[in-house]
Amino acid sequence: MTTETTKMTARSVQVFYGDNHAIKDVDVDILDNTVTAFIGPSGCGKSTFLRCLNRMNDTIDICRVQGEILMQGENIYDPRVDPVQLRAKVGMVFQKPNPFPKSIYDNVAYGPKIHGLTRSKAELDEVVEKSLRRAALWAEVKDRLHAPGTGLSGGQQQRLCIARAIATNPEVLLMDEPCSALDPIATAQVEELIDELRTQFAVVIVTHSMQQAARVSQRTAFFHLGNLVEYGETGQIFTTPRDPRTESYITGRIG
């Protein structure tokens, strides 16, 4: 299932790190129920742009963001928007699994608790179970929910982080190279999970693996030197790219 409903709209986005112009005038529409992959060589700006989508760049002092990023008509950079609330709606999963040094249960319960999303223990239990099920981890951890999250395997930890990110019931899920620290089997499980997740969320994934982008996404955006070079349907990008820079990159001719 893919829809053409736009979840987020970026217009004329510029990002500066001090004097370094890292993102140059990027326009992009992120579609709902769609996996959008950002690809490009290291330093092209794909992670920087991803981090604009939930204002993670706010934590970097020298970083300035211009232009607008709309989510359901509202500019997420509007001063009235609380970045903490925004990040509950736009969840994020990082490259290395980073569970809190807490139990599996508490890792998932943390977000709903601080955002006050549940009113009772029973309700919280339900959210934890539902999130772990959606993250395809429930069967493996249901008998040891109070064991430390850090005791799980790498692939399980990453799925725990996904469960944690979706526990606040976000609308968009950002993933910054979520499989680069995982083995091929765990990678396949996470990719399968990503395909499940898009039935409920808009998913945006940054990946260094073009094959992964080809496997999991329906839309692909190619970034190069801070520019969005080409954005289109994934099959089109990988078979008949329109821009010669895209072709050079995906066929392994520029690094």
Partner 1 sequence: MKKDTHITTAFDRDLEAIETHIMRMAGLVEEAILNAATALETRDEALASAVRAGDKAIDALEEQINMDAARLIALRSPTAADLRTVLTAMKIAGALERCGDYAKNLAKRSNVLAQMPAVAGSAGSIRRMAKAVQLQLKNVLDAYARRDVVLAEQVRQDDHDVDQMYNALFREFITHMMEDPRNISACMHLHFIAKNIERMGDHATGIAEQVIYLVTGSLPAEARPKADNTALMTGTER
The residues binding partner 1 (CB under 8 A) are 210-211, 214, 238-241, 244-245, 247-248, 250-255
Query: Minimum CB separation from partner 1 for residue 247, in Å?
Result: 5
For residues 44 and 224, the answer to whether their CB atoms sit within 8 Å is yes
For residues 166 and 173, the answer to whether their CB atoms sit within 8 Å is yes
For residues 167 and 94, the answer to whether their CB atoms sit within 8 Å is no
Start-to-end Cα distance in the chain: 33
- Cβ proximity to partner 1: between 101 and 252 the closer is 252
Closest CA to 53 of 35, 41, 39, 65: 65
Query: Minimum CB separation from partner 1 for residue 34, in Å?
Result: 21
Residue by residue, DSSP assigns 85-106 as HHHHHEEEE-SS----SSBHHH
The 8-class DSSP code of residue 66 comes to: E
Query: Minimum CB separation from partner 1 for residue 38, in Å?
Result: 17
- Cβ proximity to partner 1: between 44 and 63 the closer is 44
Closest CA to 95 of 193, 182, 214: 182
- Cβ proximity to partner 1: between 18 and 244 the closer is 244
The single-letter code of the amino acid at 186 is A
- Cβ proximity to partner 1: between 41 and 83 the closer is 41
Q: Cα 19 vs. chain centroid, distance in angstroms?
A: 27
Number of Cβ within 10 Å of residue 244's Cβ equals 10
Query: Minimum CB separation from partner 1 for residue 236, in Å?
Result: 10
- Cβ proximity to partner 1: between 70 and 225 the closer is 225
- Cβ proximity to partner 1: between 63 and 214 the closer is 214
Query: Minimum CB separation from partner 1 for residue 3, in Å?
Result: 27
- Cβ proximity to partner 1: between 60 and 254 the closer is 254
Query: Minimum CB separation from partner 1 for residue 214, in Å?
Result: 8
Closest CA to 36 of 190, 231, 246, 184: 231
Closest CA to 112 of 166, 183, 68: 166
Query: Minimum CB separation from partner 1 for residue 208, in Å?
Result: 14
The 8-class DSSP code of residue 171 comes to: S
